Amino acid sequence: MTEIMVSDDLARQIAGASPPIVFVDGSGRRLAQITPIDPEPTLPPGVSPEYWAEIKRRFETPGEYVTFQQIRDRLGW
């Protein structure tokens, strides 16, 4: 991976831009197209922070595991 240091002014422009961002040189030649990293992603509409916290809690403690055959038996397949 190549890391390129940008000025603080350019970093603010990138952070405030809407993706995708296209970098061009002085003659207008396209050099790169990027999608900035969102440091604090927003929740989808209708998902409250409390609900998201519950989803994460459940993900961290998944509970009982069952085999595919057990699922098939429960469904009567």
**Tens of pLDDT, residues 28-76:** 999 999 887 766 778 888 899 999 999 999 889 878 889 999 999 999 9
Report how far residue 23's alpha carbon sits from residue 31's, in angstroms, rounded to the nearest whole number: 5
**Tens of pLDDT, residues 9-22:** 988 888 888 888 99
Question: What pLDDT sits at residue 54?
Answer: 93
Report how far residue 16's alpha carbon sits from residue 27's, in angstroms, rounded to the nearest whole number: 24
pTM score, whole prediction: 0.42
* Residue 76 amino acid letter: G
Above 70 in pLDDT, residue 25?
yes
